[in-house]
Structure 1
Amino acid sequence: MPTSHPRSGVATACAAALTLSVLLTGTVAAQPAAAATPAGYQNVRINEVTSSGNDTVELYNTGPTAVSLSGWKTSDDNFSPQAFTPSSATIAAGGFVTFNSPKGLGDSDKLVLYTSDGTVVDRVDWATGAAKSAIARCGGDGTGAWVVTTAATTFGAANAPGCPSPAPASSRIRINEVTSNGSDIVELYNGGTSAVAVGSWKYVDGDTAHTPVSLASSSPSATSVPAGGYVTFNSTLGLGDNDSLFLLDANGTSVDSVTWATDGAKPSDERCADGAGWFRTATTATPGGANSCSGSGGGGGGGQTGRLLGGGGSLTSGCTPEAPSGTGSAPAGTPAWPGGLDVTIADDVCAFTTSTGPEGRDLSGLAFDPANPSVLWAVKNKNWLYKLVKSNGKWVPDPSWSASGKQIRFAGGTGQPDSEGLTVGGNGHLYVTSERDNTSNTAPKDTVMEFDPAATGTTLTPLRQWDMTAQFPQLDTGSKDDANLGFEGVAYVPDSWLTANGWVDPRTGSAYAPAAYPLHGSGLFFAGLEWDGTLHVYGLNSDGTYTTFGTVATGKGSVMDVLFDAGTQRIVATCDNTCGETHTSLKVGTTGAIVPDVTYTNPAVMPTDNLEGFALAPPSTCVNGAREAVWSDDGSYGFGSGTSSFGHALYSGTFPC
């Protein structure tokens, strides 16, 4: 087997810095001194290119930390590596940087990106005319397949508007697994609905002295990838440490790529799930079959891994975890979690058993208190509310409020709200959604209840209650399952954000004017409907009435939690394993409507469960560029019986500031 190109000792030493270990405290582990090949370099991807005269290149950082571009260079198929001047010397996590190619780019050309020590970071090849007006990654910035854009270029912003519809069948072919342990096996996966011929396609590694090799010459049987199937071939170029693999179609246009650091492809580098997301180090190589996606792993560039920390303990009487249901897949190309790779189990085992349920599960909605970020509010399906505070690195009930939570009722002190979501309003009160009355669970009762957290006593009744049940006749079928598909989450969204971003009031077709609704307070409430993944927008009036402002499509089949994040200035809709454990940010688009912006998966080390609650700490809590993210497991199942996560409901990680 030919030997792949060597790499510098500096690059090998720096690879040890690639794992970002973020502890529950929010602090980030100290990094080694700067080296020629910066930590996280393989997360920087070429994202868009034009060869129409200005020869602009866009880079995107898929990783959880910023990366210095100092001394980086670029080349094409004619000129040797040349320095370029980026729009920013550092590319932020989830950020874009643009530059003009130092030499002209033409038809049937390529662009190669290098670190200052000559390590290949990424490469894109295109056929005649393909980069006019531009080529761009479609299906996820930094992770999507390369396509010719059919709309205006989007340099410095997300590529979604440039994706053609429908995308070509070849764009669904993805490099799915790679080994560099001597056998040098490459696996391709077809996420499309029809077979794709690949016999005339080529591949090349990160050695710029190598020319592309045809798949047919490496494996004569690798002629076609069936729909939903796999094809493997052995690389004859030799794959090593700090290496790359680039896949080209019959026209010589880039289809997909992967770059890994030292030992990143041993035993293999794999996508999780198949054909989707970014790469992680596998615990078991599975060429020709579904990726294992188990054990330690991490998103954000080949070779990075994360750990699940903490847990343990024995199940107590009355604690019966519930296995997850409703599993689905994240859309192909969904970007990996942009925060820290490590996740910590953040509660005691069976911490939320109550008198109204024979199980220790059903912790659902979560919300940080914006006025006091050291407080995390949580709601349990069977009508319990918790004020949680940190103790020895765990979230525990605040004993000064109630060591065992407070029970909530509907207006008049009746019933058992099937409480699912909560948010903190502009007045500091808690707003809780309910799908049903658990004393009559075959009928929907989609309500929002307002509670004063300063109220005394162990049982809370709402100050006001708004009942929207009549708006959802599809849930009123006499089936408890249909009745259970109502309001799952809710977010308070300030009027100031809606007006500053030019939101158009769907009731009037004009710019939203809060003064036209004098009883609604200082913001609107976005309630997530599990039935179809839509957000329903309401003004909750002080006289007990409400104003309906229509719906917002999230692009998801279900929604389990909703929040407004002041850090990213986005509404975030969360879906559990029903949608592949994803979080979709929404913004006000150019037409004044609220539209999806970007979707992320969960950290790869987390279990694929009914994770129904999600909360992001306010930006004021940021430490070393990171803030806390918290998830709640509705079934406290974790990775199953006998694992450290079994019986736990809360997980803590980090999200960029």
Structure 2
Amino acid sequence: MSYTPARTALARAGVLTVSGLAVVAFAATRPAAAADPAGYQNIRINEVTSSNNDTVELYNAGSTPVSVSGWKMSDDGFSPQSFSPSSTTIPAGGFVTFNSPKGLGDSDKLVIYSADGTVVDRVEWATNKAKPAMARCGADGTGAWVTATTAATFGSANAAGCPATIPAAGRLRINEVTSNGSDTVELYNGGTSAVSIGSWKYVDGDTSHSTSSISSSSPSTTSIAAGGYATFNSTIGLGDNDALFLIDGSGNTIDSVTWMLDGAKPSDERCADGTGWFRTATTATLGGANSCSGASPTPTPTSTQPPTGQLLGGGGALTSGCTPEAATGTGSAPAGTVAWPGGLDVTIADNVCAFTTSTGPEGRDVSGLAFDPSNPSTLWAVKNKSWLFKLVKSGTKWIPDASWSATGKHLRFAGGSGEPDAEGLTIGGNGHLYLTSERDNDHNTVPKDTIMEFDPAATGSTLTPLRQWDMTSQFPQLNTGDKDDANLGFEGVAYVPDSWLTAGGWIDPLTGAAYNPANYPLHGSGLFFAGLEWDGTLHIYGLNSDGTLTTFGTVATGKTSVMDVLFDAGTQRIVATCDNTCGETHTFLKVNAGGAIVADATYTNPAVLPVGNLEGFAIAPAATCVNGAREAVWSDDGVWGFGSGTSSYGHALYSGTFPC
């Protein structure tokens, strides 16, 4: 098996991706060193001529500028040489050109290397095929390589120089590939006539390997009918972090695909057949139409921005009674929001319709999430139809702990009556669970903003709180007799230890002096920050052991709403999460020099996540860090995902990574 170490630039930077990133056309076939700029894998050879000063055009198919300073090139006859580009930086969707320092032949090969020697892209052509130019046609950066009708498009889009009709060979594409041992390749003919491939060859991303003939591989394939498929097993092997290049009998590059980590396990496939971007599948469909069941919708080949991550996993039919709900209330992100700092890939982390219960089967699924700081292998989840789940890891999925309850435990208010509209939860300093409710599901037009304390070791299938604190009277704006207003109360809650508040010099709003926990002898070892969906504020409480409470005022998050709150000891920040209402963002808050709790930074979600009612968010404790990263988990209150027919439909949990 050809193999190169499966470490990406993200991993070296302290972010471990969950799974492989598959992109159309060429990308680096081995990991880049630290010198490689972010986005280098999005640079494509886009046009080349072996006349007119042997000009080469590079195109940036990514969404951010990329520096090509120090990059080199070679052909099939000389070692890598420096070149002088028209600009040392290629803007997103932009072009640079340069003249080959050693000349290019009528039948030749061009390889582009980054400053540290990483192979970024390559193309081969036969005699006179690069005269007047050889260009990507159909889409800059990803289209089929064909001989252009004019060489006048250097520095701009290729469309003007492309022939009106792409040759039949250009319609044949790599459609699916596996690196799981059989190393099978599927080709698809998207044209209207058969294409003979008896003399065609292929090679992987190992530059020491020679090309291999398709016809000599097993099974032998010599022709593909219009609209047909052909498969063969690679004789040179395909690795976990590798590439595949398809070359016709004359030596012209036709198509390629690159994958990293385990992206080609069970397979990488185009969605749609022959034209779409590659993404990791949940099931290989070699020899037939691709299932497109493994990842989120990604840009089409005409887009200037390739996918920035993969949404992996999913599948399974909806069970009876599980009815996903489409997301509502989409709004814009707060000003100054920056990109997700963790891994770009996300895995679907639950079984389909996993949280259907007797009182809430209609799709109002998991709301709040919290890792147990004393046992990070446990993830607690609360469902706003009055249910609590203890989850444990099974492979890549979080599933109910059967030893606690395979179907969750039913929640009741103090006294055993009423069903909490449970939205958020946290683990207190005493190891107990503290849950918020914004109303009683039995009387959903009336707010009931409470925090309830539960003992997770309590036996039985129904749980009632040890103590319950009612703050409903503090929010008269929610008590209008309208169920929608009543539903805008406490959505999340976080236990924040006194040690963090005192170390940061937090000023107690009640005294105007530095916070002194001894002033509040019944409150335990920390305060509770409850997030109000109504206006995005955090409300600070001391929850006393005698059932009384101390109200310490509010904190502005800069958001219009808050759906979950957590305290992350790893970053020493309080995190206020908002779903699509605020552009799927997470605001990290700190104690500033003046002793006030203020917003420090706001991050978006990974781009591959669906835009929906992702109401729960949890980050694993720093003790779980591996290679500079730890798990982050999101929950979808409506299990809608990307909608009906997608791999995420009917799923509530998503898993990604966050830096340590």
The interval holding the TM-score normalised by the smaller chain is 0.5 to 0.7
> Counterparts of 1:179-578 in structure 2 under 5 Å?
180=95, 238=155, 295=298, 305-331=308-334, 333-578=336-581
3-state SS in 2 of match to 1:505 = coil
3-state SS in 1 of match to 2:571 = coil
Shift of 1:238: 2.3
3-state SS in 1 of match to 2:581 = helix
Distance 2:34 2:490 in 1: 52
Instruction: Tell me the alpha carbon deviations over residues 361-416 of structure 1, each in whole angstroms, 9 at most, x when there is no partner.
Output: 32100000000000000000011000000012210000000000001110011100
Shift of 1:304: 6.8
- 2:593 — aligned with what? 590
- 1:178 — aligned with what? 93
Distance 1:577 1:570 in 2: 22
Does the 8 Å contact 2:16/2:627 carry over to 1? Answer: no
Shift of 1:16: 10
Distance 1:397 1:14 in 2: 35
3-state SS in 2 of match to 1:314 = coil
**How much identity, in percent, do the aligned residues show?**
74
Instruction: Tell me the alpha carbon deviations over residues 532-579 of structure 1, each in whole angstroms, 9 at most, x when there is no partner.
Output: 000000000000000000000000000000000011100000000000
Shift of 1:31: 9.9
Does the 8 Å contact 1:319/1:361 carry over to 2? Answer: no
TM-score normalised to structure 2 length = 0.59
Report whether the alignment pairs 1:580 with 2:583. yes
Instruction: Tell me the alpha carbon deviations over residues 570-615 of structure 1, each in whole angstroms, 9 at most, x when there is no partner.
Output: 0000000000000000001121110000000000001000000000
**Structure 2 CA distance for partners of 1:181 and 1:387, relative to 1, 3 Å:** farther
Shift of 1:178: 2.8
The residue type equivalent to 2:433 in the other structure is L
Shift of 1:296: 6.1
**Structure 2 CA distance for partners of 1:180 and 1:472, relative to 1, 3 Å:** same
Does the 8 Å contact 2:410/2:463 carry over to 1? Answer: yes
Instruction: Tell me the alpha carbon deviations over residues 99-118 of structure 1, each in whole angstroms, 9 at most, x when there is no partner.
Output: xxxxxxxxxxxxxxxxx999
Does the 8 Å contact 2:316/2:352 carry over to 1? Answer: yes
**Structure 2 CA distance for partners of 1:42 and 1:601, relative to 1, 3 Å:** farther
Report whether the alignment pairs 1:40 with 2:43. no
Distance 2:374 2:88 in 1: 43
Distance 1:18 1:399 in 2: 39
Distance 2:276 2:500 in 1: 45
Alpha-carbon RMSD: 3.8
- 1:172 — aligned with what? none
The residue type equivalent to 1:352 in the other structure is F
3-state SS in 2 of match to 1:525 = strand
Instruction: Tell me the alpha carbon deviations over residues 19-52 of structure 1, each in whole angstroms, 9 at most, x when there is no partner.
Output: 76956599xxx99465484253779xxxxxxxxx
Distance 1:317 1:331 in 2: 39
Distance 1:582 1:638 in 2: 17
**Structure 2 CA distance for partners of 1:572 and 1:42, relative to 1, 3 Å:** farther
3-state SS in 2 of match to 1:490 = strand
Distance 1:31 1:591 in 2: 50
Does the 8 Å contact 1:37/1:117 carry over to 2? Answer: no
> Counterparts of 1:626-637 in structure 2 under 5 Å?
626-637=629-640
The residue type equivalent to 1:377 in the other structure is W
Instruction: Tell me the alpha carbon deviations over residues 400-438 of structure 1, each in whole angstroms, 9 at most, x when there is no partner.
Output: 000000011100111000000000000000000000000
Does the 8 Å contact 2:382/2:389 carry over to 1? Answer: yes
3-state SS in 1 of match to 2:510 = coil
**Structure 2 CA distance for partners of 1:639 and 1:545, relative to 1, 3 Å:** same
- 1:56 — aligned with what? none
Distance 1:426 1:594 in 2: 21
Distance 2:408 2:34 in 1: 53
Distance 1:557 1:332 in 2: 12
3-state SS in 2 of match to 1:337 = coil
The residue type equivalent to 1:238 in the other structure is G
Distance 2:614 2:153 in 1: 44
Distance 1:335 1:453 in 2: 37
Does the 8 Å contact 2:299/2:305 carry over to 1? Answer: no
3-state SS in 2 of match to 1:453 = coil
Distance 1:616 1:391 in 2: 18
The residue type equivalent to 1:415 in the other structure is G
Shift of 1:359: 1.3
Does the 8 Å contact 1:426/1:523 carry over to 2? Answer: yes
Does the 8 Å contact 1:24/1:393 carry over to 2? Answer: no
Distance 1:181 1:117 in 2: 12
Distance 1:118 1:586 in 2: 46
The residue type equivalent to 2:395 in the other structure is N
Shift of 1:236: 9.7
The residue type equivalent to 1:580 in the other structure is G
- 2:73 — aligned with what? none
Does the 8 Å contact 1:436/1:446 carry over to 2? Answer: yes
Distance 2:327 2:658 in 1: 25
**Structure 2 CA distance for partners of 1:239 and 1:341, relative to 1, 3 Å:** farther
Report whether the alignment pairs 1:643 with 2:643. no
- 1:208 — aligned with what? none
- 2:214 — aligned with what? none
3-state SS in 2 of match to 1:537 = strand
Distance 1:546 1:36 in 2: 52
Distance 2:644 2:560 in 1: 29
Does the 8 Å contact 1:487/1:528 carry over to 2? Answer: yes
**Structure 2 CA distance for partners of 1:15 and 1:543, relative to 1, 3 Å:** closer
Distance 1:118 1:388 in 2: 56
Q: How many residues align?
A: 424
Shift of 1:358: 3.6
Which structure would you say has the larger Rg?
2
- 1:655 — aligned with what? 658
3-state SS in 2 of match to 1:571 = strand
> Counterparts of 1:121-136 in structure 2 under 5 Å?
none
Distance 1:441 1:596 in 2: 33
Shift of 1:122: 7.0
The residue type equivalent to 1:611 in the other structure is L
3-state SS in 1 of match to 2:518 = helix
**Structure 2 CA distance for partners of 1:117 and 1:653, relative to 1, 3 Å:** farther
Distance 2:406 2:461 in 1: 10
